[in-house]
Amino acid sequence: MAKQLQYEIHNLIPDNYASYGGYINFERVIPFEDGLKKVHRRALLGIRQVASGKFTSTVNAIGAVNVIHPFGTASLEQVIADLVRTGELEGQGSFGIKLMEEVPPSAPRYTKLMMNKLKEDYYFKLLKYAPECEGEVDIEPEYLITPVPYCLTVGALNLGLGIQGRTPAFTFKSLVAAFLANDPTLLESNFGYKLNKNDSDLQALWETGKGKLSLSMAVQRLSDDEIIISGSGEVFKPDLKAFNEFTKTGSIFIKNESTDKIAIRIEKAKRARVDMNEVFKVAQRVARFKRAYNILVVRKNPEGKNIIQTIGIKEWLGLTINRYIKTYEQYKLDRVAELESEVQVYSLMPEVGKLLLQDKTDDEIIKKVKGLDQTILDKIKRKSLGSLRKEDYTKEVESLVSKINNVKAEDPIKEIEKYY
């Protein structure tokens, strides 16, 4: 007879809802230390398999991601469109755009995408050093080792259960410069907005992760009778209702000329008695936007447990940039060791090749050739017969030594600058 379990019905919803809320907040809503939500990280991992350096259909890319993110394709379409729109992937076709009205992406069957080599290098060059965790399907990296958190360059809205966060978007270059100089005034807004630094809480955001930012679109006086407001719609769009007092009387006309960015043209009506200086002041006001931010991250505490916390920009960049530098130095050591092993292979190959062609045993060859071990011998044995017959590898050795010197001279900070 099956064992019966008793459960207080009034505890059913609170207990399960708390568990569900924890899953949503930690696994789906709040980005991890690399600034990526799990779905974005998996999208990059999956797309790398099918679109590395070549265009593939978005349908194919979605299928590849769905293998490791088995939650249907509907959400993946928007996630991938966001990655293309923010420049992480290259796209062919329309992946949507935020103008005065948001234009949705075309159906995936009509678009293509690609991960270029620079972005692949940025996200995956140090992949083998990333810690792993168990996903729904297989083992996957817990985070990617990148110098700058993804969401600090594109912004993020985190609406969880009982928690809400919002991350501002800055340019990659300004984030690195601000960290190296420990100077938040070097920060610049992404997507082409002007960051009004005197009206923003840059120091508070830098230190605590909480504060307000003031952004502006461009407002130009084309002539005495014409004004244009232009800029990206990624963060905000101008509220044209502010011009109602002028449009109701027919004093001005407003034309939406947006294509790849927002462009609002304001023209004075013929024979209208309106002060365009006042209209210009309204345009400046609606092209300005201020918002509060609370930067949230999932990170490891000293005991190794995942926690959600508000984090200052300085602390977050310190975590990722310093980890990147440390890991890159280990990458250099490992790369030098690989190249030095190849130097040994080519240095010993003429002598070893002759013995192999004489059908000498491994033990005989190792005893006869100074500095040879089984690992190097196995590498030589995998070479072609033509290679074993060759007697001079001076050029190959010199090339490898040059590569070793180049790797040793690599500066992690200079490597970061490649991605500006």
| Same domain? 267 vs 353 | no
CATH number at residue 135: 3.90.199.10
* pLDDT 10s digits, 306-357: 999 999 999 999 999 999 999 999 999 999 999 999 999 999 999 999 999 9
Average pLDDT in the chain: 94
The mean pLDDT value for 182-210 works out to: 97
| Same domain? 273 vs 361 | no
Mapping DSSP to helix (H, G, I), strand (E, B) and coil, where does residue 67 land? helix
Two structure tokens written together for 170: 């800055």
Is position 373 within any domain? yes
Two structure tokens written together for 244: 């109602």
Check pLDDT > 70 for residue 2.
no
| Same domain? 136 vs 225 | no
The CA distances from residue 163 to 25, 79, 140, 309, 351, in Å, are 8, 22, 27, 10, 68
Q: Are 403 and 339 in contact (CB under 8 A)?
A: yes
Neighbours of 291 (CB within 10 A): 12
Q: Which of 39-48, 49-58, 322-331, 383-392 has the lowest mean pLDDT?
A: 383-392
In the sheet that holds 252-256, the strands lie side by side as 218-223, 226-231, 262-268, 252-256
Q: How far is Cα of residue 132 from the mean position of the Cα atoms in its chain? A: 19
pLDDT recorded at residue 5: 63
| Same domain? 65 vs 131 | yes
Distance (Å, whole) CA 121 – CA 44: 12
- Sign of torsion over alpha carbons 33, 234, 178, 290: negative
pLDDT recorded at residue 19: 84
Q: Are 20 and 35 in contact (CB under 8 A)?
A: no
Last residue of some domain: 96, 113, 142? 142
| Same domain? 263 vs 352 | no
pLDDT recorded at residue 4: 64
Is position 376 within any domain? yes
| Same domain? 51 vs 130 | yes
Check pLDDT > 90 for residue 8.
no
Last residue of some domain: 97, 122, 142? 142
Is position 195 within any domain? no
Is position 289 within any domain? no
Check pLDDT > 60 for residue 21.
yes
Last residue of some domain: 142, 163, 178? 142
* pLDDT 10s digits, 247-304: 999 999 999 999 999 999 999 999 899 999 999 999 999 999 999 999 999 998 889 8
pLDDT recorded at residue 201: 98
**Lookup result for tokens 């299928």:** 63
| Same domain? 337 vs 271 | no
Mapping DSSP to helix (H, G, I), strand (E, B) and coil, where does residue 380 land? helix
Show Cβ contacts of residue 311 under 8 Å, excluding neighbours closer than 6 positions: 209, 295, 296, 297, 299
Is position 90 within any domain? yes
pLDDT interval class at 15 (50, 70, 90): confident
Is position 169 within any domain? no
| Same domain? 351 vs 413 | yes
pLDDT recorded at residue 74: 85
Is position 227 within any domain? yes
Range of the structural domain that residue 84 is part of: 37-142
Show Cβ contacts of residue 296 under 8 Å, excluding neighbours closer than 6 positions: 30, 31, 158, 163, 165, 167, 209, 308, 309, 310, 311
pLDDT recorded at residue 13: 76
* pLDDT 10s digits, 56-81: 999 999 999 999 999 888 889 999 99
Domains: count for the chain: 3
| Same domain? 269 vs 346 | no
Residue type, 295: I
Check pLDDT > 70 for residue 7.
no
* pTM to 2 decimal places: 0.91
pLDDT recorded at residue 14: 76
pLDDT interval class at 22 (50, 70, 90): confident
| Same domain? 339 vs 269 | no
* pLDDT 10s digits, 234-263: 999 999 999 999 999 999 999 999 999 999
**Lookup result for tokens 């200052």:** 312
Check pLDDT > 90 for residue 33.
yes
Is position 72 within any domain? yes
pLDDT recorded at residue 239: 95
